[in-house]
Structure 1
Amino acid sequence: MKRGRKPTIDAADITRAAIAIADAEGLAAVSMARVAQEMGNATMALYRHVKNKDELLALMWDAAMEEPPPLPDGEWRDKLGFWARAVLTAIRRRPWFLQIPVSGPPSGPKNLAWLDSALTALEGVPLEPGEKIGVVMGLSTFVQGEARLSFTLSQGFEEDPAQFNHQYGQKLREVVDPRRMPALAKVVEAGVFDLDDVLDVEDLGADFDFGLHLFLEGVAAHIDGKST
């Protein structure tokens, strides 16, 4: 039996080339034609392995995350906290990950490995399987939301640092009407926004840790409520 020629490229090769372009120039630079050019192939050759750009983006969305690190010893909160910070670190390596439209639940091997890791952190916790999935999905949404916010704020700071200094607090005093927004007015008058640098990398990290703490404490309260 005569064997056909082996393909010189495959979907994994195409995905790696696309990720390299996104790492260097951003997600907007990725196209089937550009990937083909970088690989030294005709564009039609790529379509034998990847149907279209949407499929390529889905492959990139999975491959961008790499493999989850091993969980540390400790209770479930320590493990889930470690997992959340590992997800944040992985996203920060490739912030274009957040720009990929998500059209379905995780199904690629890397994303499923991260899901399995988070569920492993909840082994032995008295929750129903569906509740565990809910916890992991909620935590994932929190982490990705925080990553997106910190990335966009950092971009805004680079473009216009002035909007993040003490003038922000002054502007709020001018536009916040205590009669219409009494709760916000109290925070403004307390001087929360009277800072020389409203955006601080360390503050973003502290905000993430505080939000993560609140999330995990909420899960703990739900577990305690079930036991009583």
Structure 2
Amino acid sequence: MSEQPDLPADVALMWGLRAVSKRGPKPSLTVEDIVRAAIEIADAEGLAAVSMARVAERLGNSTMALYRHVKSKDDLLVVMQDAALERPRPMPDGVDWRTALVFWADGVMTAVRKHRWYSKLAISGPPAGPNNLAWFDAALGALDGTGLSEESKVGVVMGLMTYIQGQMRLSLDLAAAYADHPDTFSRYGATLARVIDPREYPALAQVLAAGVFEEPTTFDDSDDTDFDFGLQLYLDGVERFIERVCQDK
């Protein structure tokens, strides 16, 4: 299938619509082969280890052979970002919108945790790849029957995506920092107690006085306590918004 002239190059690549040069011998590689090898390298060694040369070496091909399919490392990272997310599991039958969105959000976090490098990829635009759009579609579908307009559904889902992306990146970064410098975290409460002046930081002083930071702080990116707390707060707001919309109709 030929590339559509008005389709952005990275979108065409993610959807398998980029034309491959017909010059030379018939290519033995596919974009899927290249992306799979790049993800394997990133999973094993981190995102910094991914290069066109390393992927070519892993596949037993020349770097130039890769360029027939993927024009640059930037393009490769775009496709990796979509491919790594995989497709969402089907929503459970007969659940309400809130249960469905919790299921959806947990699914996103589970998918991302399989590839710890995912949080290091820059967000270059709205979802456009087949896997990302499958997740987008599933979340929008969870809001069917709520009475929200299509525009409001998009706003709710984009807000939820923003929360998940922020929490995911924060938790993975903090877990990595904790692994490198656990003492910084375990002494956090004692450190604050030495520098906080209650007259300048009264609210924070109250937190310290309540003993919130007395227990040594640890970080495990598989612990969903903070994620679940924030998710429920967000969904509380969505629920109130839906009630208000329904009252106004």
Give the conservation status (yes or no) of the 8 Å contact 2:174–2:219: no
Counterpart check, 1:86 vs 2:100: no
SS at match of 1:51: coil
- How far apart, in 2, do the equivalents of 1:88 and 1:144 lie? 9
Alignment of 1:185-200 (within 5 A): 185-195=205-215, 197-200=216-219
Does the Cα contact within 8 Å between 1:150 and 1:204 map onto a contact in 2?
no
Structure-1 residue corresponding to 2:195:
175
Secondary structure of 1:64 counterpart:
helix
Query: Contact 1:66–1:110 at 8 Å: present in 2 too?
Result: yes
Partner in structure 1 of residue 231 of structure 2: 212
User: What is the number of equivalent residue pairs in this alignment?
Assistant: 223
How do 1:76-225 and structure 2 match up within 5 A? 76-165=97-186, 167-195=187-215, 197-201=216-220, 204-225=223-244
Query: Quick check: 1:119–1:132 contact (8 Å CA) kept in 2?
Result: yes
Matched AA of 1:135:
V
What is the CA-CA distance between 1:201 and the residue it aligns to? 3.6
Mapped to 2, the partners of 1:32 and 1:99 lie a distance apart of 18
Structure 1 residues 202 and 33: CA distance shift in structure 2, 3 A: closer
- CA–CA distance in structure 2, aligned partners of residues 156 and 41 of structure 1: 37
Q: Distance in 2 between matches of 1:110 and 1:188?
A: 44
Q: Which runs of 4+ in 1 moved over 6 A?
A: none
Partner of 1:21: 41
CA shift, 1:43, in A, is 0.7
**CA 1:33–1:202: 2 relative to 1, 3 Å:** closer
CA drift of 1:200 comes to 4.8
TM-superposed deviation, 1:204:
4.0
Alignment match of 2:61 (pick from 41, 54, 57): 41
Residue in structure 1 matched with residue 15 of structure 2 by the alignment: none
Query: Deviation at 1:131?
Result: 1.1
> TM-score, with normalisation over the residues of structure 2?
0.85
Query: Is the 8 Å Cα contact of residues 171 and 221 (structure 2) preserved in structure 1?
Result: no
The separation in 2 between residues aligned to 1:36 and 1:45, in whole angstroms, is: 8
Gaps of 5+ in 2: 1-23
Q: Which residue of 1 aligns with 2:5?
A: none
Q: Deviation of residue 51 (structure 1)?
A: 1.1
Greater shift, 88-97 or 201-210, is seen at 201-210
Task: Tell me which amino acid in the other structure corresponds to 2:120.
Answer: Q
Q: Name the amino acid aligned to 1:220.
A: E
Shift, 1:202, TM fit: 8.9
User: Cα deviation per residue 1:66-109 (whole Å; 9 max; x = unaligned)?
Assistant: 11011113100000000001101111111211111121111111
CA distance in 2, matches of 1:126, 1:15: 40
Counterparts in 2 of 1:55 and 1:148: CA distance versus 1, 3 Å: same
